[in-house]
Structure 1
Amino acid sequence: MSDYIIGIDIGSFNICAAAGKLDKYGKMQIMGITSSECNGVKKGVVVDIDSTSESIKKCIYELERMIDIKIQGAYIALPGGLSELMQSKGIVAVSSEDGEVTENDVKRVLKAAKIITIPSDKEVIGVIAQQYIIDGYDKIKDPIGMSGVRLEVDAQVILAQSTIVNNLFKSVNKAGIKVMGLVFEPMAISKVVLKEEEIQRGVILVDMGADSVNIYDYEGGKINDINTIGLGGNTITNDISVCLKVPISCAEKLKKKYGAVGYFNKDKSSKIEVNSGYNGKTHIDYNILVEVIEARVEELLLMINNKLKFLKNYENISEIVIVGGGISQIKGIEEFSRKILEKPVRIGSPNYIGASSPIYAVVAGIVEDAASSMKVKHENKINEYEDNNKKSYENWTEASTREKENYENSGFVSKIKEFFTDFF
């Protein structure tokens, strides 16, 4: 069985796939990452299973070539904009006779928190524990090993429409890949671009997609709110295409290569030669290009700012972190965003070699989230390995004298000594 952890981010413009592996210290490393274009997803929802499946196949094939293994299973993400959070509470009695909370008790109380009334077209995707309570004492993060009679949990239950989840699964399965698990996208991204202190203090994560923008509000160590704007980076591409009369594919390349806002869009006053289709070439004005880009970026940021103003904890927001596609890579976007949003802004990039780009935040988060659940097992293996090594060393020490005598009697050690004497 392979030790690789595979993650797939199914987006509206790109599908990204990454392979991670735990090193000997239990830290996750990205061993390979790739992406391919996708036309079968709109605003995070699969609208064409066949097209999405083909894009996944292509992406996985490239990843297989990088890591030289056959990929059979992967973890995927559920976009936060397609989800709903509900508060819930679970209560169970501690099962052990000595009153010690076990891992099984934690599983039981989380399962109890999932027992809620939900609409028939939705299903429970997962549960996020906010705090555990033992015999009335709250704010417990890890109750395992503690003593008590009654175990409670305050949790958030993640809901999603059954059809959306089923179509995601079908797209991946049709590509010949088994879905190993479903990761909640806001939690996945937060693991690789946010610090625990930020999540406690109050931070906004803005995921700039091609068709939509998801805004995640974190405070007090948990996600408080999710907001979605039904516009994204594709609107900039469309505006460039219409205003400058160039094909969509050409407009996308212009956005990525020359996109700039604020001070950075005043550096040039020149013409750009582009292919207008059918081997024809045309020249466009650089200043017009950046004016179109800046106007749409400003509009999107103003829409984000309006959403933020309605948040209860708006005054407590310490920072805004932007991840996602082309908008996060536009020159000058940080300074430009600070002026409009009136908050500190930074671009969130995963701290992994080969994956340190905001476009890989989701897929790196998927792999990290899956890896975190394996770290405990990994640490147990290390402890077991060290214990076995210690026992082996003790056994070897006890037997070393006897073995040495046997080797010397057979002439093995003396022959080695003669070999090194002659060699040097």
Structure 2
Amino acid sequence: MNEYIIGIDIGSSKICAAAGKADRYGRIQIMGITSANCSGVKKGIVVDIDSTSEAIKKCIDSLERMVDTKIKEAYVCIPGGMCELIWNKGVVAVGSEDREIRENDVKRVLKASKIITIPSDKEIVGVIPQQYIIDGYDKIKEPIGMSGLRLEVDAQIILAPSTVVNNLLKSISKAGVKLLGMVFQPLAIAEVALKEEETQRGVAVVDVGEQSIDIYIYEGGNLASIDTISLGGNAITNDISLCLKLPFSEAEKLKIKYGSVGEELSGCDSPIEVNVDYNDKVNVDYFMLKQIIEARVEELLYLIDQKMKCSSFYEKVSGIVLVGGGLALIKGIEELSKSILKKPVRIGAPEYIGAASPLYTAAVGVVKDAIDSIKDKSVMIDTRKENENNDREWTLKQDQKESGNNSGIISKIKEFFTDFF
């Protein structure tokens, strides 16, 4: 696996792209990551294909310079806020004569789970298998290689508006990038920001973007619910701009550089000099700026708290993980969030050198999901080869018994691993 895997996250204000690969030990390395401003997406929905494609192209060009290779293919994440989850079941008979479940059986049962009635304006963009059931035995995560007569799956079907998906695909195609696959955003975030123990115990991921807040609740290892609030980090910037009479772009810079909440010491006692016009500068009082930011951040946190309490899974949430660039980058946000949400709060970010920012969580998650999928397919192919080798080895040993030539199984295993590595 020497080629780079590219993951793209198309957000409301920025497009993030990451390039990664797996080393010889199977560990994932992020080799390049970048972002570009985008004005063609509103609340996760493409409203201007030309503007969005230009931003994608700019982002990919920057990533190409980082990894020194031409990028023609990529994976993209589908925003979770616009999607809907539907539970359904699929059932098939195991096709092989020896009753061993193979990859084709899993594909057939997942296809069977997609047989549902959906609205004309929506389409199926993915399937999340929750558990497999073999001859009545449930809670099976990986059925390939097991034996049985009847294979079932409990799955979540992901529905998305057809228009939204088509416009997203057109933007990517117009940027000159071939789409290899789509990754559901909540799953991409979970790949790099959550621990398996958290998803089993119950955790809420709060993805605060520029124009919307998506709340994903995990319970029992599965994605249990999705909620959206039509307000995001731009509300903070807008308040700074209006209250201090500053251009929106300068207000955004102030928020990113000086944004803090709570009792955290700033170390900024002197007024902040800000460019208002070409040659016009004004001084901004830091404590006034902090009061403006705190007021809006508290409102957003209370909205998140109300939305979470409306969920039937709220009592099962043992912690909250903040991702995205809307709130997670503000200093002191963890302590303030704990005091308002009344639950443990932490910032979720990828644990990779150069990509350890909540802003890049989804893009890095797409890369990891794609690499893991490719690795799983490779393992299945290699396992199949190993089984074939074992069959040939058994025949060879039976033939050699009469001649007294006993080569032994250890040498065969050594040969296999020598070829593999």
Counterpart in the other structure of 2:335 = 335
Aligned-partner Cα distance in 2 for 1:88–1:391: 41
Shift of 1:100: 1.1
Distance 1:123 1:393, change over 3 A: closer
- How do 1:141-180 and structure 2 match up within 5 A? 141-180=141-180
SS at match of 1:101: coil
Relative to 1, partners in 2 of residues 1:198 and 1:64: Cα closer, same or farther, differing over 3 Å?
A: same
Q: What residue number does 1:249 align with?
A: 249
In the other structure, the counterpart of 2:110 is 110
Q: TM-score of the superposition, structure 2-length normalised? A: 0.90
Q: Deviations over 1:353-411 (max 9, x none)?
A: 110100000100010111110112444688889989837989xxxxxxxxxxxxxxxxx
Q: Which residue of 1 aligns with 2:17?
A: 17
The aligned amino acid for 1:39 is: S
Deviation per residue, 1:178-222 (Å, 9 max, x gap): 111111000010000101111011000000100000000000111
Q: Work out whether 1:40 is the aligned partner of 2:65.
A: no
Q: Which deviations, in whole Å up to 9, do the C-alpha atoms of 1:78-131 show, x marking residues without a partner?
A: 110010000000000001111111111011000000110000010000100011
Instruction: Return closer, same or farther for 1:228/1:392 CA change in 2, 3 Å cut-off.
Output: closer
Name the residue aligned to 2:5: 5
Contact 1:256 1:326 in 2 (8 A): no
Q: How many residues align?
A: 394
Provide the rounded CA distance (Å) in 1 between the counterparts of 2:328 and 2:25.
33
Does the 8 Å CA contact 2:234/2:326 hold for their aligned counterparts? no
Structure-1 separation of matches of 2:4 and 2:380: 19
Q: Which has the larger radius of gyration?
A: 1
Letter in 2 for 1:12: S
SS at match of 2:69: coil
Counterpart of 2:28 in structure 1: which amino acid? M
CA distance in 2, matches of 1:333, 1:393: 52
Question: Which whole-Å CA distance do the structure 1 matches of 2:324 and 2:416 have between them?
Answer: 50
1:307 aligns with: 307
With structure 1 as the length reference, what TM-score do the two structures score? 0.89
Is residue 229 of structure 2 the alignment partner of residue 229 of structure 1? yes
Q: Distance in 2 between matches of 1:391 and 1:235?
A: 59
Q: Structure 2 vs 1, CA of residues 195 and 3 (structure 1 numbering), >3 Å: closer, same or farther?
A: same
Please tell me whether the aligned partners of residues 123 and 162 of structure 2 are also in contact (alpha carbons under 8 angstroms).
Answer: yes
Aligned residue for 2:327, secondary structure, equals: helix
Asked whether the 8 Å contact 2:211–2:233 carries over to 1, the reply is yes
For residues 102 and 349 of structure 1, what CA distance do their matches in structure 2 show? Answer: 36
CA–CA separation in structure 2 for the residues paired with 1:124 and 1:19: 27
Aligned to 2:352: 352
Q: Counterpart in 1 of 2:201?
A: 201
Task: Indicate the SS of the match to 2:25.
Answer: coil
Cα distance in 2 for partners of 1:121, 1:377 equals 33
> Does the 8 A contact of 1:265 with 1:287 survive in 2?
no
Percent of aligned positions with the same letter in both sequences? 63
1:390 equivalent in structure 2:
415
Q: Which residue of 2 aligns with 1:135?
A: 135
One-letter amino acid matched to 1:347:
I
- Aligned partners of 1:388 and 1:166: how far apart in 2? 49
Query: Which residue does 2:70 correspond to in 1?
Result: 70
Whole-Å separation in 2 of the counterparts to 1:119 and 1:224:
22
**Cα separation, 2, equivalents of 1:142 and 1:2:** 27
Deviations along 1:308-351, one digit per CA (max 9) or x if unpaired, are: 11222222211100000042111100001000000000000101
Q: Note if contact 1:204-1:317 (Cα within 8 Å) is conserved in structure 2.
A: yes
Determine whether 1:58 maps to 2:58.
yes
Q: Which runs of 5+ in 2 are unaligned?
A: 387-410
Other structure's SS at 1:170 match: helix
Local SS of the residue matching 1:352 = coil
**Whole-angstrom CA distance in 2 between matches of 1:51 and 1:2:** 32
Flag the structure with higher helix content: 1
Which deviations, in whole Å up to 9, do the C-alpha atoms of 1:46-98 show, x marking residues without a partner?
A: 00000011111111001001111111110011110010000000000001111
Structure 1 distance, partners of 2:380, 2:158, is 30
Contact 1:189 1:361 in 2 (8 A): yes
Gaps of 5+ in 1: 395-424
**One-letter identity of the residue aligned with 1:161:** P
Is 323-332 or 36-45 further displaced after alignment? 323-332
1:362 has 2:362 as partner: yes
RMSD over aligned Cα, in angstroms? Answer: 2.0
Find the counterpart in structure 1 of residue 321 from structure 2: 321
Structure 2 Cα separation of the partners of residues 326 and 247 of structure 1 = 19
Residue aligning to 1:263:
263
Distance in 1, matches of 2:382 and 2:142, equals 22
The answer on whether the counterparts of 1:212 and 1:230 sit within 8 Å (CA) in structure 2 is yes
